[in-house]
Structure 1
Amino acid sequence: MTFSALDKPTNDNQTTFDIIIVGSGAGAMASSIVASDHGLSVLVVEKSGKFGGTSALSGGGIWIPNNDHFKAKGGQDSYQQAFDYLKASTENRVSDSRLHAYLTHAPEMIRYLERKSRVRYAVAEKYPDYYPHLEGSLAGGRTLDPEIFDTTCMGDEVENQLKASASTLLMGKIAWTARDAHKAMARERGWRLLLLKLIMKYKLDFGQRRKTRRDRRAALGSSLVASLRQSMTDRNIPLWLDTDFTDIVFSQDRVCGIEVVRDGEKQTLNAKLAVIFASGGFEQNQKLRDKYLPSPSNVKWSATPPGNNTGAALEAGIRAGANTDIMDWCWWSPTVKVPKEDKARGLFAERAFPGAIVVDGLGKRFVNEAAPYLEFGDAMYRNNAATDGKSLPAWVIFDANFRFNYAMGPFMPAQIQPDSRLPKGWLNTLYWKADSLDELAKQIKIDADGLSHTVERINRFATTGVDEDFGRGSNVFDRYYGDTNVKPNPCLAPIVKGPFYAMRIEAGDIGTKGGLLTNEHAQVMNTDNMPIAGLYAIGNCSASVMGQSYPGAGATLGPAMTFGYIAANHIAKDITKDLTNGKQTTL
């Protein structure tokens, strides 16, 4: 079969495309836009009935060192500084060629999308890198936060087909940026007025309220995915939902298509140039978790949607001879399971708020609660091994003062959502409550003496402002979500006032970190360290360019979108070179 890259299908019944992308997250959509702009025909297939994957449920931030937005505000960053930081944080687990590819193309990628698509970002100037102790880190400026996106242009598609998560919305329904959330959570000056404005803008949108409780303004991951999806629509790029990838198709040692199940029927789709896997990790596949991840492990602890991210692309790649890496790691995050919700909720900012601690079954702290969530999850497993299984689950403990002032998981502060307004089914399932710490320890079956000693110790640290055990609040990252009004340490406050509360937390995740090993072009490598012709992988189905680290907020989506951009350009460059040389490619 011969082809020209200029053949571009327009029919939804087409089964032959230049590029087929498996998955519909931010990386997949970004890649489809770039490929389409090169004049290539693209099909995006999505397993579920809604598009956006875990990207739509995320904060939507992207970690882009040396970006234009920070520079425009006078920020100081450099390629070498960013490379030094990445090299230190990845600890030689990732090739220099991949690191250089990311640092070179990440600023290009977002520059391209903001110029050519509806995607818009702003710099989160105060959001620090996660490892401030490492050479090359910055106290802010590398994370970009999606701007609000008005979804009116999307019609019914946004309501029926865009994934949404109440956990990323103010009060479960109101759009706000990560910058808004930080101001409110850190209780910076003007935070109450900010919340009032956001609430009133939502409530006064009477036309939208008559149709749905969903805010017409998308933010965070929903904003990113909505703007990318509309940019696909602008280009007539087809997106097939409810299309389940099952395997790769080969011809003459080259990937030439995929097999899917659509409308209950098996179908073969032909890819003239390449297949790009962008279908997420394997965290929703218990058998694969049991095979690769630390024990114990449970799909129910994950904060990603059930039924998706089951590792189909990973398994197909392995069958095709692909190499893998970092298979024993997730993007760890402690999670809580809220009754009647289909997935667990990650605890991100709340752990830095003053007046809450996390303890194991012995009633002892085992980690800096404000640490990055990847390191927090890793600490849960390390402590679980050291205490013979006493760290899974762990427990977050707080008092009435904390409950009144701060959010925790699905709890809004009691000054907004008192206990009387909490669902009755949450008591003794999501949270436990008692008038004394001893009684609380008995309810959740942890060591009461250990908890009492731990609370005494943390109360002393709150007075001095120095956490002598784990250094909580001693660096710029910890303090990012601390309460700026609390002195001397914005991350420490005493636990003294009843009633006292506990929430059970698990060693959850926001996706797996390991997957198909790729090179600097996002090509999947085989076990002989050679590219598998016609096969690319980006996002969580590929081994992370960040290795076992999490350098900054957006270090998942940033690489997914960047390597999607790289893959599309690499495919287009190869076909352009062939056409320039007067060649045709035969599959």
Structure 2
Amino acid sequence: MKREPILDCDVLVLGSGAGGLAAAVTAAAQGLRVIVAEKEAVFGGTTAWSGGWMWIPRNPLATRAGIREDIDAPRTYLKHELGAHYDADKVDALLERGPEMVAFFERHTAVRFIDGNRIPDFHTTPGAGAGGRSVCAMPFDGRELGPLIDKLREPLSVTTIKGMALASGQDLAHFYRATRAPKSALYASRRLAAFAWHKLRYGRSMHLVNGNALVARLLKSAADRGVDLRTHAKAIGLMRDAERVTGARVEIDGIVHEIRAARGVVLACGGFPHDPARRAQTFAYTPSGREHWSAAPLCNTGDGIRLGETVG
């Protein structure tokens, strides 16, 4: 296999879901040189197929709406929900840094959020909230991505109307009421007309919602900050200098590149829903690894876990 000259960066991110792109944008915002390597032909991973909602108690959108709560309330809720799996350090990291994360992306990137101020927690256990603990990416006009729109994973077809995705909340509610309420009928008609034009003109919907909007906004932010975004780029091994990971060997369009990362490598490759062997090894209820199937993209095969295992 042909090898090309070494590429250099400060941070190499493997994977392009919300975690990978958020890491890339954050590093680039600090002035670092960043490469994102995505093994698929499109960016977005499972995030692009997801609902896109994030549970972030005490977030700025809730605070601006007058919803204020002490950190002990969501902490108590998680203690009751997680039981023996409760990890105080990780929980506090989420509760303390989550609001800072939302504020950072609002201030420094193209990511904008809608609030979940009327969405309660799932269970009424102690510490549960009646709202104000969730955020989701605001709908996004895909045309703002320019040519990058062609490299954005489209929504999961079965969750759309012939390719038109609906956002939870008022968007979905209007479609439910379209045959009973004139206002909703007008709203649905306008959405359908816009979608028809987008399909005719662009081949896909340009009104992006849910996890697809989150990925699009992160891609826009990454491109704006000069992140080197690569598709068809599969990591085949990590590079080491003694105990330190210094980069990765990445096959890009069939050519192996050594990418040196001065500051570090981020493994943001997702989980292993489509790795039957590891599923069988990990979960007692699926002894063959095939008893349950996942709606995650088929490319989600645990690559990052295997790479991590090679360096301990």
1:106: how far off? Answer: 0.5
Q: Which blocks of at least 5 consecutive residues in structure 2 are unaligned?
A: none
Q: Runs in 1 of length 4+ with deviation above 4 angstroms? A: 184-192, 204-207
Equivalent pairs, count: 306
Q: Which has the higher contact order (CA 8 A, sep 6+)?
A: 2
Secondary structure, counterpart of 2:164 in structure 1: coil
Alignment-mate amino acid for residue 98 of structure 1:
K
> Does residue 34 of structure 1 match 2:26?
yes
Give the 5 Å matches for 1:345-364: none
2:116 maps to 124
**Is the Cα–Cα contact under 8 Å of residues 165 and 209 in structure 2 kept in the other structure?**
yes
In the superposition, relative to structure 1, how do residues 185 and 94 fare at CA in structure 2: closer, same or farther (>3 Å)?
farther
1:147 maps to 138
Structure with the bigger percentage of helix:
2
Give the 5 Å matches for 1:563-582: none
Q: Which blocks of at least 5 consecutive residues in structure 1 are unaligned?
A: 1-12, 322-587
Alignment-mate amino acid for residue 80 of structure 2:
A
Q: TM-score, with normalisation over the residues of structure 1?
A: 0.49
Q: 1:283 aligns with which of 270, 273, 277?
A: 273
Alignment-mate amino acid for residue 312 of structure 1:
D
Q: 2:286 aligns with which of 290, 295, 300?
A: 295
Q: For 2:31 and 2:202, how far apart are their aligned partners in 1? A: 38
**Is the Cα–Cα contact under 8 Å of residues 183 and 191 in structure 1 kept in the other structure?**
no
**Is the Cα–Cα contact under 8 Å of residues 247 and 264 in structure 2 kept in the other structure?**
yes
Q: For 2:224 and 2:66, how far apart are their aligned partners in 1? A: 34
1:183 maps to 173
1:88: how far off? Answer: 2.0
Alignment-mate amino acid for residue 236 of structure 2:
T
1:260 maps to 250
Q: For 1:14 and 1:211, how far apart are their aligned partners in 2? A: 41
In the superposition, relative to structure 1, how do residues 204 and 254 fare at CA in structure 2: closer, same or farther (>3 Å)?
closer
> Does residue 320 of structure 1 match 2:311?
yes
Alignment-mate amino acid for residue 303 of structure 2:
A
Look at both structures and tell me which one has the larger radius of gyration over its CA atoms: 1
Q: 1:136 aligns with which of 124, 127, 130?
A: 127
Q: TM-score, with normalisation over the residues of structure 2?
A: 0.89
**Is the Cα–Cα contact under 8 Å of residues 129 and 139 in structure 1 kept in the other structure?**
yes
Secondary structure, counterpart of 1:309 in structure 2: coil
In the superposition, relative to structure 1, how do residues 253 and 152 fare at CA in structure 2: closer, same or farther (>3 Å)?
same
**Is the Cα–Cα contact under 8 Å of residues 175 and 188 in structure 2 kept in the other structure?**
no
In the superposition, relative to structure 1, how do residues 44 and 94 fare at CA in structure 2: closer, same or farther (>3 Å)?
farther
1:243 maps to 233
2:183 maps to 193
In the superposition, relative to structure 1, how do residues 88 and 276 fare at CA in structure 2: closer, same or farther (>3 Å)?
same
**Is the Cα–Cα contact under 8 Å of residues 273 and 293 in structure 2 kept in the other structure?**
no
Q: For 1:206 and 1:67, how far apart are their aligned partners in 2? A: 36
In the superposition, relative to structure 1, how do residues 151 and 177 fare at CA in structure 2: closer, same or farther (>3 Å)?
same
2:158 maps to 167
**Is the Cα–Cα contact under 8 Å of residues 77 and 126 in structure 2 kept in the other structure?**
yes
1:143-194, Cα deviation, whole Å (9 max, x unpaired) = 112211011122232134433222343x233343221355358869986733
**Is the Cα–Cα contact under 8 Å of residues 51 and 163 in structure 1 kept in the other structure?**
no
**Is the Cα–Cα contact under 8 Å of residues 16 and 43 in structure 2 kept in the other structure?**
yes
**Is the Cα–Cα contact under 8 Å of residues 247 and 265 in structure 2 kept in the other structure?**
yes
Q: For 1:37 and 1:191, how far apart are their aligned partners in 2? A: 46
> Does residue 108 of structure 1 match 2:113?
no
Alignment-mate amino acid for residue 311 of structure 1:
G
In the superposition, relative to structure 1, how do residues 310 and 206 fare at CA in structure 2: closer, same or farther (>3 Å)?
closer
2:60 maps to 68
